[in-house]
Amino acid sequence: MNEEERAKRLSDAIDVMLQGGQPEPDLDDDDLIELLRIARLRHQVGRARAANALASQELVWRVLKARMVARQMKQETEAEEEPPL
């Protein structure tokens, strides 16, 4: 099998994986099997990081809103405590 055929088989297997399927384990080349294993791991890590990013984004927004409310309350309290001129 030449390099172009190997690349095509790997590309097809990765496409199947990215669409949620399981690539057929007909890859008889150890290098292609290893590359597909690495692609699968990277895909899993990417999905996990994307899920964590959403949770982190929500947490950051909550903290930001809480800080804004706290700052506003502090400014209002300071304004009430200032002696009249």
Question: In the chain, how many domains are there?
Answer: 1
The rounded distance, in Å, linking the Cα atoms of 32 and 38 is 10
Closest of 83, 84, 80 to residue 72, by C-alpha: 80
Per residue in 29-80, pLDDT tens?
788 888 888 888 998 899 899 989 988 999 999 999 999 999 999 988 888 8
The rounded distance, in Å, linking the Cα atoms of 41 and 63 is 33
Give the model's pLDDT for residue 85: 65
Per residue in 6-42, pLDDT tens?
888 888 888 888 888 877 766 677 888 888 888 889 9
pTM for this prediction: 0.55
Structural domain including 41 reads 3-81
